[in-house]
């Protein structure tokens, strides 16, 4: 029997790992500067300005610092940009967050605040120093956003318009902001009102919404006051079931989402309540009589007022036969009305 001899197993020699390339001093410097800026943000640049630009009132012979204009020329940027960093540092120094200018010397290092704090002091636009910019910045802070964002939007109305036209959520935010603003701005109220009445679609929409609001107001008045106004104009206490029905409709209206169309719901509630009011009047004999009496008096007063407004001083200039005929017919109708009323009075006279 022949035995097979297995070949001997050999372990490969490990491949040596390549040694890392020497670290570039330039890369290391960039990394250090990046890390410093990541921790401090604009404070790093603010410090450069604060320790190198002399404060106002300090002469060139009193300090090695230079003016903001000279510093900007050396930096290759505008003096306005340098001053924005200067003013940010000044505001922070007033709050005790960083040292005052006079306490800093060129090249001096100090511990800097966190990067996020910088945004509370630095405004990257000149408009922020104006009265308008200050108002925008204060409003932004009240809304809990960075002033720089609000100022950027304010300085680019075309971009704002594009966002409103393209994005429904932006349009809704703009609408709400306008509503908040218009309450305190009579001039804007007038301008918006003119825009509405000059735009047919808007005018129709406003009329529709106004009608819906009036109808909801009618239902709400019944539900909250417990009183109804009859067709003749009387104000009386609403029956309990009628008031409950008004409350039911009102709760349905109040539960509608803001973006839901209330017109159809308002019309249904209004028509229902109008019908119930008429039925309530007809169901109460005393109220029904009073309602007819009120309607009669109202019609009589309107007719009397119209007749009193007729003048005959220059009747000869416009006289026509049919005018006399109409007045004679009116006289006959009035006579018949008087006879009927007297007859009714006689029937009600005590024996």
Which residues lie below 8 Å from residue 292, measured CB to CB, with a gap of 6+?
A: 232
Any alpha helices (H) in 112-239, and if so which ranges? 115-118, 131-143, 147-154, 157-166, 168-182, 186-197, 200-225
pLDDT of residue 268: 92
pLDDT of residue 130: 64
Give the DSSP letter string of 170-190: HHHHHHHHHHHHHTT-HHHHH
Residues linked to residue 235 through DSSP beta bridges, in sequence order: 229
Structure tokens that stand for 30 in this block: 């960039």
56: how many CB neighbours lie within 10 A of its CB?
10
H or E stretch at 230: none
Q: Report whether 253 contacts 265 (CB < 8 A).
A: yes
CA 42 → CA 21, 84, 105, 127, 224, distances in Å?
Answer: 33, 11, 19, 19, 59
How wide is the angle at C-alpha 158 spanned by C-alphas 188 and 141, nearest 5°? 65
Structure tokens that stand for 141 in this block: 């802070």
User: What is the C-alpha end-to-end distance of the chain, expressed in Å?
Assistant: 156
pLDDT of residue 3: 41
User: Left, alpha or beta for 327 (phi > 0: left; psi -120 to 50: alpha)?
Assistant: alpha
Chain position carrying tokens 């604009």 = 42
Which residues lie below 8 Å from residue 31, measured CB to CB, with a gap of 6+?
A: none
Q: Report whether 163 contacts 170 (CB < 8 A).
A: yes
Q: What is the mean pLDDT of each run of 10 residues along the chain (351 residues)?
A: 46 59 79 74 88 77 85 87 86 91 90 83 61 74 72 79 90 87 87 88 88 92 91 88 92 80 88 92 88 87 86 77 86 88 68 46
Q: Report whether 250 contacts 225 (CB < 8 A).
A: no
Q: Report whether 295 contacts 232 (CB < 8 A).
A: yes
- Give the separation between CA 28 and CA 35, rounded to whole angstroms: 11
Half-sphere exposure for 335 (CA within 13 Å, toward CB)? 6
Structure tokens that stand for 128 in this block: 């922020």
230: how many CB neighbours lie within 10 A of its CB?
18
CA 53 → CA 45, 83, 84, 201, distances in Å?
Answer: 12, 9, 12, 60
pLDDT of residue 96: 92
Nearest 10 degrees: Cα torsion 287, 293, 297, 303: 120
pLDDT of residue 197: 87
Mapping DSSP to helix (H, G, I), strand (E, B) and coil, where does residue 328 land? helix
- Give the separation between CA 230 and CA 278, rounded to whole angstroms: 7
Which residues lie below 8 Å from residue 274, measured CB to CB, with a gap of 6+?
A: none
């Amino acid at each position: 029997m022949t035995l097979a001899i297995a070949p001997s197993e050999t372990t490969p020699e490990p491949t040596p790992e390549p040694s890392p390339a020497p670290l570039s001093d330039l890369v290391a410097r960039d990394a250090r500067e990046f890390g410093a800026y990541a921790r401090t943000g604009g404070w790093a640049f603010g410090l450069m300005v604060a320790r190198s630009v002399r404060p106002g009132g300090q002469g060139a012979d009193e300090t090695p610092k230079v003016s903001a204009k000279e510093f900007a020329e050396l930096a290759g940027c505008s003096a306005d940009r340098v001053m924005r960093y200067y003013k940010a540092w000044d505001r922070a120094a007033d709050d005790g967050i960083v040292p005052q200018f006079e306490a800093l010397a060129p090249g001096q290092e100090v511990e800097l605040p966190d990067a996020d704090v910088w945004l509370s002091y630095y405004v990257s636009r000149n408009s922020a120093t104006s009265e308008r910019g200050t108002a925008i910045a204060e409003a932004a802070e009240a809304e809990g956003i960075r002033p720089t964002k609000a100022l950027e939007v304010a300085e680019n109305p075309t971009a704002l318009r594009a966002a409103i036209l393209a994005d429904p959520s932006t349009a809704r935010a703009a609408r709400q902001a306008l509503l908040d603003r218009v309450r305190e701005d009579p001039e804007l109220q007038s301008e918006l009102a003119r825009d509405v009445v000059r735009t047919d679609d808007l005018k129709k929409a406003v009329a529709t919404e106004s009608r819906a609001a009036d109808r909801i107001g009618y239902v709400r008045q019944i539900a909250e006051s417990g009183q109804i106004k009859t067709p003749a104009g009387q104000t009386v206490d609403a029956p309990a079931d009628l008031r409950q029905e008004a409350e039911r409709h009102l709760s349905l209206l109040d539960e509608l989402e803001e973006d839901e169309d209330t017109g159809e719901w308002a019309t249904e509630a209004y028509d229902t309540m109008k019908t119930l009011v008429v039925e309530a009047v007809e169901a109460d004999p005393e109220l029904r009589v009073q309602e007819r009496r009120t309607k009669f008096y109202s019609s009589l007063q309107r007719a009397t007022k119209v007749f009193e407004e007729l003048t005959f001083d220059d009747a000869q200039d416009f006289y026509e036969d049919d005018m006399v005929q109409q007045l004679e017919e009116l006289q006959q109708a009035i006579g018949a009305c008087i006879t009927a009323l007297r007859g009714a009075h006689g029937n009600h006279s005590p024996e």
